[in-house]
A and B are shown apart, each in its own frame.
Chain A
Amino acid sequence: MKDEPRVGVFVCHCGTNIGGVVDVPEVVEYAKTLPYVVYADRNLYTCSEEGLNNIRDTIKEYNLNRVVVASCTPRTHEPLFRVACQEGGLNPYLFEMANIREHCSWVHHDSKEATEKAKDIVRMAVARSLWLEPQEEPELEIKDSSLVIGGGISGLVAAISLADQGFKVYLVEKEAELGGLVRQLYKLYPTLEDTSEILNPHIEEAKNHRNIEVHTSTTIKDIEGYVGNFHVTAIKNKEQIEFDVGTIIVATGAWNYHPPEGNFQYGVLDGVMTQLELEELLKEGKLERPEIIVMIQCVGSRVGEIWSYELVGLFHSQATRLLSKILGARGSEEGWAYCSKICCMNAIKNAILIKEQFPESEVTILYQDLRTYKEYEDFYRRARKLEVRFLKYIYEIPPEISEAPGNKLRVSFYDPFAGEEMSIICDKVALSTPLIPSKDGILLAKKLKIPLDQNGFLMEAHVKLRPIDTQIEGIFLAGTAAGPKDISESIVSAKAAAARASILMGNKVIKTEALTAVVNQDLCIGCGLCEELCPYGAHIVKDGKSTVIEALCKGCGVCVVACPQKAISAKHYTDDQILAAVKNAFTEQLT
């Protein structure tokens, strides 16, 4: 410690939240007895304008070089108090928070004991504060260009949105044509517009936009760097191309599941096809006369192994297993536990198209639960008016398909409403199969260090509130790469991804994490464990020593714990700082 510490302690009543249980004046008096504490007082609300001004003014008046606020959770209030410290001329990292609300007054009823515990918490915070050091948040420049990976509807929409906002976009698609999986669709629900009417204008706009550089037949080879400064290497028709971008939008899409041969007689009996294959027949006008068609929902979805949600956040070790599952999906019986969400509407759409073209056709949809959410309920009614037949089957007894005389197919199933085995003799069976993670998505996730979810889709930073962000700053998700979505939802997510990327690029600079890991080069033996474990790719071992790329480091501390040499420390969470607090948890007097 260079200067003699001068600590100010501000204890908050939080109205009656703290003050109703903890004897706040007693805690203040106690704080005054602690070494190096030169000021202690209380506020009704430290976070009020008045409380914050008090912190600011007291720092100046008492020449404080450490501030401790004993109040609520740093999760919501630390930024506020840090700003107050800054206004008082103090580096914001010389601030420490003691949580005497969530950790004390909210969970204890006995006032005397709670007051004692509050004193312990304050003593620990003061002890830690003595060891704090000022930290700086380095500024990082953000390049105003973006890489969009995947030229399906989501990639196109994201690219056009960014380009319209004035950013340079590199749109990379591995196929020779833009359009992705949507290109195979005939019409879109619920408006029954031709897919081309929606898709083609986007393709044309992307191709002709002066801010978009389209690279088809191109695959990503490597991506290095970090938010604001990614260096991308791609292979286009066997030639290497490179560009630098500030942000990345991953729009690698999803695959359509194909049942393994023999499953539901797929690939064995003529006339058994996937729903998408049926749609292609419709598109090509190959359904030439009225037919009897049975559609079976949830083929390959809502089945298979169910993993508990806590397993979410699988890292790279799982990628290999998931990859073999996806590739094996064409040859194994393993299905997917999730609901693919779009299949009910898709089946109804095709049923309507068939009935409108050939009213004498007989179309039956066999379902488990009909999931025509939102206004799609109308779509369901429309199909029923057209006399599309909806019959339920139960999970335990999946429908069986067999040959029937006269080149026909027999679908047998148990109808729980009738309580009977039923069978339908038909011409065609369409299997509604789910959208599944794409191989490209999983391989790219591995390259970019984006965690995968339990099913192999790319995982969002927070499933509720950050559905577009990934754990890697500057990389965003659009469309079905993150899970099944219909076209409209994909477009919403793509626009949102563009918004998130535009925020970074529009601001031109960001402040990055101050609390990064630091390697003591003298102690480092270059074993590489940190490089292997770092989820953000922030450690690089070169010439037998590890260094940290600060822009990538999130300060998670994994390397700090793992380092066998104790060569790595985390700024603001050094052993000295943590141990100071721990030691003081068990002593009466500050040491």
Chain B
Amino acid sequence: MKDSKSVLVVGGGIAGIQASLDAADRGFKVYLVEKTPSIGGRMAQLDKTFPTMDCSICILAPKMAECYRHSNITLLTYSEVQDAKGSIGNFEVAVLKKARHVKEDKCVGCGICTEKCPVKVPNEFEMGLADRKAIYMPFPQAVPRLTTIDEENCLFFQKGTCRVCEKLCEAGAIDFDEKPEEIVLNVDAIILATGFDVFNPKAITAYGYGKYKNVITAMELERLICASGPTDGYILRPSDGKEPESVVFIQCVGSRDQRYNPYCSSICCKYAIKDAVLIREHHPEIDTYVFYIDLRAFGKGFQEFANRSKEEYGINYIRSNPGEIREDPITQDLTIWYEDTLTRTIKPLTVGLVVLCTASIPRPDNKKLSELIGVELDDLGFFRASHDIDHPVDLTVPGVYGCGFCLGPRVGDIPHSVMQAGAAVARMSEELAGMEEA
């Protein structure tokens, strides 16, 4: 490519990060737009990654830092796409940079403001299992390393008082008057990498999520089992802070289920195996059970890992889709009624903690983006590829590509997201080179 081309990448999870790095290394000027205050996405929240048991943030953080440092990448965090028009080679995209109320060029990320802020808010990164403040750093390895004031909870914005952070900030970085700013970007191509949301299992009342404290989701468990998480990696029950004697994982909560999501989320069997193994590593005395319909340990190294989880770690696998969970009002233990389909018996199992492996679902933002950019969504709400087999990362508008989980569960895991990111960059380079020739 002769002149420097540019691309807008929407979403700063692993897929968007990799697409940005590949595109920037290929010579593109990259604008990486992320709606939360930091890049990192879901992968930053995971404790370990299967099947190699790498610490997730430890392998991700260098890539986040590289995005920040790369001379071809402009990070636009806490920003959202507002409008888009044009076509391949000439898109005009309006991005709204929300007011952080912390000046990017002054904040050194020391965190004094977050210590002294008096307002406590459930911490999204910790899945609500810990608190953050109204001025906060999303997580310790956040990139960029800046704090952000959340207007909805800040005393100054709500009641006009406080301003403690402003008084304490030695760098003079706090700016209550900052206004949202609209930036208009001209780019040659767009890569969407908006990732996935997690199904809220409250809808399945028989499992009692939201009602029984000791029924949690797998994302919540990821934080519980993380050494830098709210319990320092100890598995403690939300109800009493005690270690449970046994833990159960239930698969296909909201997926492979016509009532909610008909598709298989692809990743749950594998992360449940990983989490079950991690629990046994942290607490060898905790009995662990996985309830499954089909154990889908496909992909490199996973079947072997599943076998090890049984033989070396003694994970119990039960082929069943449990019907109901009941809580003992005194002990807050949970009794699961299920049919073991391999022995054809209906039994109860009483455990201390239940982990629901919930479906991965499309981001609601996909709809807005599809309307702004004109790309189609599939029936499920993920971005539709222009051809399932032959053009798996092309979306239905030329010059717009997708990578990662926003394309649907596909293969859904991290390596495939990384490959899709590369593929999107290759497709973009091919098509723009073709235009130049024509």
Contacts and interface: CB of A to CB of B under 8 A. Distances in A.
A193 interface: yes
B342 A416 contact: yes
B198 interface: no
Interface stretch (B90-98, B213-221, B294-302, B366-374): B294-302
Contacts of A17: 140
B22 A507 contact: no
B27 A507 contact: yes
A454 B304 contact: yes
A453 B52 CA distance: 13
A364 to B, nearest CB: 17
Interface in B64-85: 65, 69
B49 interface: yes
Contacts of B153: none
Nearest to B52: A463
Given A165-B433, A373-B298, A309 B422 contact: no
A495 B26 CA distance: 14
B389 A188 contact: yes
Contacts of A496: 418-423, 426
B205 interface: no
Contacts of B393: 492, 495
B54 A464 contact: yes
A25 to B, nearest CB: 16
A340 to B, nearest CB: 8
A506 B65 contact: no
A500 B390 CA distance: 20
A302 B411 contact: no
Interface stretch (B103-111, B154-162, B236-244, B282-290): B103-111
Given A370-B294, A374-B412, A306 B427 contact: no
Contact of A341 (B263, B298, B388): B298
A138 interface: no
Contact of A373 (B25, B140, B264, B390): B264
A464 B429 contact: no
Given A165-B430, A308-B308, A464-B49, A374 B409 contact: yes
Interface stretch (B34-42, B55-63, B177-185, B322-330): B55-63
Nearest to A367: B294
A377 interface: yes
A493 B256 CA distance: 27
Interface string B158-190: 000000000000000000000000000000000
Contacts of B263: 374-375, 377-378
A45 B171 CA distance: 12
B363 interface: no
B414 interface: yes
A48 B108 contact: yes
Contacts of B302: 338-339
A463 B420 CA distance: 15
Given A374-B264, A417-B344, A502-B26, A491 B392 contact: yes
Given A377-B264, A506-B27, A193 B52 contact: no
A488 B388 contact: yes
B357 to A, nearest CB: 14
B206 interface: no
A491 B388 contact: no
B305 A375 contact: no
A349 to B, nearest CB: 12
A499 B433 contact: no
Contacts of B429: 165, 499, 502
B280 interface: no
Nearest to A79: B69
A464 B59 contact: yes
Interface in A414-441: 416-417, 419
A503 interface: yes
B425 interface: yes
A509 to B, nearest CB: 13
B69 A464 contact: no
A542 B110 CA distance: 57
A302 B305 CA distance: 11
Interface in A450-475: 453-454, 457, 460, 462-468
Given A377-B264, A491-B389, A500-B422, A337 B307 contact: yes
A175 interface: no
A16 interface: yes
A15 interface: yes
A483 B300 CA distance: 7
B26 A15 contact: no
A394 B341 CA distance: 12
Contacts of A308: 304, 308
B30 to A, nearest CB: 13
Contacts of B420: 492, 496
Interface in B393-429: 393, 408-412, 414-416, 418-423, 425-427, 429
B203 interface: no
Contact of A507 (B25, B111, B295): B25
A76 B62 contact: yes
Given A45-B108, A166-B433, A467 B301 contact: no
Interface string B212-232: 000000000000000000000
Given A394-B342, A503-B25, A463 B389 contact: no
A586 interface: no
A588 interface: no
A517 to B, nearest CB: 25
Nearest to B267: A373
Contact of A309 (B308, B380, B421): B308
Given A15-B110, A463-B301, A495-B427, A374 B341 contact: no
B22 A500 contact: yes
A77 B311 CA distance: 40
A488 B392 contact: yes
Nearest to B228: A106
A369 interface: yes
A492 B419 contact: yes
Contacts of B110: 13, 15, 44-45
Nearest to A485: B411
A465 B392 contact: no
A51 B110 CA distance: 12
Contacts of A457: 300
Given A306-B308, A495-B393, A495-B426, 16 more contacts: A16-B111, A79-B69, A161-B426, A301-B303, A306-B304, A337-B303, A378-B262, A394-B342, A464-B52, A464-B418, A465-B14, A488-B388, A489-B419, A496-B419, A502-B429, A503-B25
29 contacts: A45-B110, A76-B62, A80-B69, A165-B430, A338-B303, A341-B299, A370-B294, A371-B296, A373-B264, A373-B409, A377-B264, A378-B262, A416-B341, A417-B344, A453-B300, A454-B301, A463-B415, A464-B49, A465-B414, A465-B415, A468-B422, A488-B390, A489-B419, A491-B390, A492-B423, A495-B393, A496-B420, A506-B26, A506-B27
Closest 10 CB pairs of A and B: A496-B422, A495-B423, A499-B426, A467-B415, A369-B294, A499-B422, A164-B430, A374-B409, A339-B303, A48-B108
Interface of A: 13, 15-17, 44-45, 47-51, 75-77, 79-80, 161, 164-166, 188, 190-191, 193, 198, 301-302, 306-309, 312, 337-339, 341, 369-378, 381, 394, 416-417, 419, 453-454, 457, 460, 462-468, 482-483, 487-489, 491-493, 495-500, 502-503, 506-507
